A and B are shown apart, each in its own frame.
Chain A
Amino acid sequence: MIKKIPVFILLINILVIAQAPEIKFTEYDLPNGLHVILHQDNSTPIVATTITYHVGSKNEDPQRTGFAHFFEHLMFEGSENIKRGQIDSLVQNAGGQLNASTSFDQTTYYLLLPSNQLELALWIESERLLHAKIDSVGVETQRSVVKEERRQSIDNRPYGTLFEKVFATAFTKHPYNWTPIGSFQYIDQASIEEFREFYKTYYVPQNAVLSIAGDIDIAQTRALINKYFSEIPAGKKDIPRPRIVEPKRVKEVRDTVYDKIQLPAVVQAYHIPAQGTKDYYALNMLTTLLSSGQSSRFYKALIDEKQIALQTGSIPVSLEDPGLFICYAFAAAGKAPEESEAVINEQIKKVQDELITDEEFEKIRNQVERSFINEKSKVLGISQSLAEYYLFFKNTSLINTELDKYMNVTKEDIRRVAREFLAPTNRIVLYYLPKSSQKN
């Protein structure tokens, strides 16, 4: 009798996991250090190519913020064999789409193309890695474009500076102090040599992961990758990795920002461990409890019951080094942000004091399972996940097994991380208030 119980439990586990379709992949290193991951899925005749470089804003000199992101723009200017501005054109001419993004920790480029254009994708990415064009014309154009990007997404937007202010306040030593968009002035000051130096340091095969998913043939794709990437020499410089540890916060910091807004907002940011740690998964389960869906605790309390907020939520910002757990609320018209903060604190205290119910526990497990499966609906998403699992954890098979890490989190873990990390002394709090309310 006793022996049967574990079998039963095992069966339940298998049932849960069996839901997620397995993503099969092949991975290997080229002699120059480029890591390659391939996933074949022939259901639609398209192919997604992701190449991610292990360089983000945290690698920047504090006197050159915005550099990694600016570089992402420069990489669309062309190469020795690709004329200025032709990357967009080549990809669209091939019926494809492209984009790129820069975060604190990485810079990612992707191309999504009909599958008969795989070789074009490899040619473009290998050109960028081998000999991108870094000249003054390109630098000048992208300086203007990046400034407009900053104006459009930050300076001309209500609450646009929020993310930037939170990180600037929370991090005093660590380079998460500034966000990837950076400042105008540094990009203006930088010389062409500095851009070339940055390229030689970070845009090297051993600092990149190439991940391809879609309608491919593995052997043929390997041969093509060999053709375009194997001649690229490995980088000869050391790749600097910041080893700065943000000192442990011992005292709450509170600040107020006056912005071009109508409704006040409040943001709390708590220091948390890096992505991939056990606590990180528990914090992810916690955020699901607090703010995923309309029955979540924050939504229910602030929006449905007390009706003091227009929007509320929590986000564990997933970062390579220890990051932040952000809780926020945008006040409803005529409501004070202090009311929202009080209810957020009340809800956090509740998780710290009481274990969550079985029913809520089942709910958040179901929600996490669902979103884990949904991430596998598109080849582009799959190629990006594969690249990141390798880049950050050197463990590509997490694409199939990471769900276990969430499912292993217990109710006690959730209470524990709430107690350990969501403490007032471990946070900064920002109030965003309308400029019109500022007293001179």
Chain B
Amino acid sequence: MKNRILALLLLISFTAFGQVDRSAPPKPGPAPQIRIADYESFTLDNGLKVFVVTNSKLPTVAFNLIIDSDPVLEKDLAGYVGMTGRLLRTGTKTRTKEQIDQEVDKIGGTLGTSSSSVFSSSLKKHMNKLLELMSDVVINAEFRDAEVEKARKQILSNLISSKDEPDEIAERVRRKLFYGEGHPYAEFETEASVKKITRQDCEKYYQTYFKPNISYLSIVGDITLDEAKKAAQRYFGDWKKGEVPKHTYKQPKAPLLTKVAIVDRDNAVQTSINIGHPVEISLSSPDVINARVMNTILGGGAFRLFENLREKRGFTYGAYSQLAPNQLTGYFAASADVRNEVTDSAVTEFLYEMKRIRTEPVGENELQKAKNYITGSFAISMESPQTVASFAVNTAKYNLPRDFYSNYLVKVNSLTADDIRDAANKYVLPEKSYIILVGKAEDIASKVKKFSSLKIEYYDDFANPVDPNAKAVPEGVSAASVISKYIESIGGKEKLMNVKDRKTTMSASVQGFDVTAVLLQKAPNKMLQRISVGGMEQVMLFDGKNGVNKSPMGEEVLEGENLEQMAFEADMLAITKLDELGIKATLTGVEKIDDKDAYKIEFVLPSGGKFHHYYEKESGLKLREQRTLSTPQGTFTQTTNFSDYREVNGMKYPYKLVQSVVGMNIEMTVSNIEINTGLGDDLFK
């Protein structure tokens, strides 16, 4: 009887199979329950927090120690923290590197170290040996000179070979532009910094920061809670706790205007495109999940960017975007490698998609697709017990709500099109981005100018600014010869010394407002500049000693570099007595300014502040002054171009000054220059 029913059932099913409906995708079965495996946690007396995830599918165990210290500023020693991490497994009080290597390999284990983590794994049967080695490098690391030298050589070799890696080059420029000087994420190894690192630097870092009370240990695999407790106590119980310094940093900001930066690789057949900016987002931000779903739709997989740039246009093998949360500062970046010819078209499409996600509401299907994708990825990630361990550590480390991960998918699935648009408007800034292009400048530069109102910036492999027009300096020319030719060109030192005072009156029109400026200077070094716009006034005064800047926004007493800079400008003879003022001048190259060759001189003030002047090769006259302004929005270059030189009392003065900063040009016209009218000292008070 039973058999017959079975046969009947078979028959029915076969008939059904005879007419397979292939026209539409089959409906999914009921959604499986996604369960996050349990974990246990405990804390050792020394403060080490331990998390245990038991999973006996394979007879293996893995230990991951995370040292949660704040990043430090490495300055001219960039790379020493990373080197400390690398050196950890190269010696302990009782083992040489050779012994460590042999013992790890002998059990078929792995042991990896970095400046903020130590990871090890092996078959369960070798666990005790593995932990003996791991705790030895964590607790008893010893730094040996020979290993320091070896690591230094390896890092230097790596740096040399990275000169041909477009991704590494792009990453250095990205860090430098996104985070700016003074931020640890803007730092990277250079040949000079790596050469400076000493064994003591690494030792000191290890002794200061490798402490159990700021660390998390996750234990994953074929191990019970009881075994894990015993192992943690036995191998890490003796690790001494200690006070660890904290560091905080300013939040980097997106640039005010989009900037284009190029690194020239003259043999490149593709351009590596990176478009993005820093953003303030961390795992503890309330909308971090909204931001992730938004980025998924834009480019977190084969979504909009991939569809557009690869599948629709065939520009690239892959185009993606990243929105990386981080406690210090996150970032958004979209990237692809594309062939030279389509570089500008690809940038256009990137910016189009970045704008579109901010303006057009995302369609229901597309939103659902992103939610499904994230839900599925979450389920897939559950296969690895490491995922559960990282959830546990993150929850503790970033002080997340206890249900952050268990509620994660509920949150994902509750988001609306408005949530996505809000997140895009907050975290994707197509008009305040850096467009970083590593590729063949000759092929791409002229076509990508249009993406920014600012001049294209050029960088070398190590993110140092370079001038693409720089030419070789002819022999026999020096800073001194250029400066003396300049002094001759405006009338000579003698005539210059006869100028006791000077009054310059200028006017300009800025966005419909009339601007007038009056500049008074008196020997030896007094200066007053008054700028009036629509009844408001800004006054800059230097009385020979102190400088002040007064505006409706308040009064600022100048100090340091700014004061030095003002003193230099106040002194009409400064250029004739640089040595006396302690100012260093260096000729750094020849560049083109509006078709004219100009010598570029770098001036370094005693405080270390820097600025540049450009002197025309032919006439000797000054064509440009250039300064870097540091503001909370990042650093900007302010340039002032001089032209229309006219003679007044046998001296030459520029009658047209064009000042530009962040793409804004202000053209000032001199209406009058009066010399030696006997300006009184009381004017400069």
Contact = CB atoms under 8 A, between A and B. Distances in A.
Interface stretch (A56-64, A146-154, A274-282): A146-154
A260 B169 CA distance: 15
Interface centre among B23, B33, B105 (most CB of A within 10 A): B105
A102 B485 CA distance: 68
A373 B13 contact: no
Contact of A141 (B22, B160, B314, B380): B314
B317 interface: yes
A148 B164 CA distance: 18
A171 B338 CA distance: 32
B610 interface: no
A255 to B, nearest CB: 21
Given A119-B26, A332-B157, A370-B123, A141 B267 contact: no
Given A96-B376, A151-B269, A363-B106, A114 B339 contact: no
B106 A123 contact: no
Interface string B307-351: 100111111110000000000000000000111000000000000
B29 A92 contact: no
Interface in A90-149: 90, 92-97, 112-120, 122-123, 126-127, 130, 140-145, 147-149
Interface stretch (A347-355, A374-382, A390-398): A374-382
A309 to B, nearest CB: 9
Given A116-B30, A231-B20, A373-B60, A148 B122 contact: no
A114 B636 CA distance: 50
B338 A307 contact: no
A301 B58 CA distance: 34
Contacts of A145: 310-311, 314, 316-317
Nearest to B385: A377
A10 interface: no
B31 interface: yes
Contact of A304 (B107, B150, B166, B373): B150
A405 interface: no
Given A296-B105, A310-B157, A93 B270 contact: no
Contacts of B123: 19, 366, 369-370, 373
B101 A300 contact: yes
Nearest to A293: B105
A437 interface: no
Interface string B285-314: 000000000000000011100110011111
Contacts of A113: 376
A304 B160 CA distance: 19
B337 to A, nearest CB: 5
A190 interface: no
Contact of A155 (B57, B104, B269, B376): B269
Contact of A44 (B314, B369, B382): B382
B669 to A, nearest CB: 50
A43 to B, nearest CB: 6
Contact of A294 (B101, B267, B303, B372): B101
Contacts of A366: 106-108, 123, 126
B98 interface: yes
Nearest to A42: B32
Interface in A225-243: 226-228, 230-231
Nearest to A294: B101
A116 B267 contact: no
Interface residues of A, number: 89
A152 B302 contact: no
A359 B106 contact: yes
B125 interface: yes
Contacts of A157: 165
A376 B383 CA distance: 12
B153 interface: yes
A359 B105 CA distance: 11
Contact of B28 (A119, A310, A379): A119
Given A114-B31, A304-B98, A93 B164 contact: no
Given A141-B314, A332-B153, A333-B160, A158 B380 contact: no
Contact of A369 (B98, B108, B270): B108
A372 to B, nearest CB: 10
B60 A374 contact: yes
A294 B91 CA distance: 13
Given A148-B337, A263-B160, A370 B122 contact: yes
Contacts of A262: 160-161, 163-164
A293 B58 CA distance: 22
Interface residues of B, number: 80
B19 to A, nearest CB: 10
Nearest to A220: B29
B28 A260 contact: no
B339 A293 contact: no
A330 interface: yes
Contacts of B339: 147-148, 151
Nearest to B439: A156
A95 B376 contact: yes
A80 B21 CA distance: 13
A333 B153 contact: yes
Contact of B108 (A115, A148, A228, A370): A370
A66 B606 CA distance: 63
A389 to B, nearest CB: 19
B408 to A, nearest CB: 14
A260 B302 CA distance: 31
A149 B270 CA distance: 11
B551 interface: no
A112 B381 CA distance: 11
Given A93-B369, A373-B60, A228 B20 contact: yes
B375 interface: yes
B57 to A, nearest CB: 6
A321 interface: no
Contacts of A93: 368-369, 372-373
Interface stretch (A25-33, A81-89, A197-205, A412-420): A81-89
B384 interface: yes
B28 A92 contact: no
A90 B25 contact: yes
Given A119-B26, A366-B108, A333 B314 contact: no
A295 interface: yes
A44 B25 contact: no
B675 interface: no
Contacts of B267: 260, 435
Interface in A288-342: 292-296, 300, 303-304, 307, 310, 330, 332-333
Given A260-B164, A333-B153, A376-B58, A152 B317 contact: yes
A6 interface: no
A122 B57 CA distance: 27
A116 B22 contact: no
Contacts of A130: 22
A362 interface: yes
Contacts of B368: 93
A85 to B, nearest CB: 5
Given A88-B302, A294-B101, A123 B22 contact: yes
B220 to A, nearest CB: 11
Nearest to B164: A158
A142 B58 CA distance: 41
20 contacts: A45-B32, A45-B33, A89-B302, A95-B376, A116-B28, A117-B29, A119-B28, A126-B22, A140-B314, A145-B310, A149-B317, A156-B270, A231-B20, A260-B164, A295-B98, A295-B102, A304-B150, A307-B153, A332-B153, A377-B57
The 8 closest A-B pairs by CB, nearest first: A95-B376, A144-B314, A45-B32, A370-B108, A366-B108, A116-B29, A293-B105, A295-B101
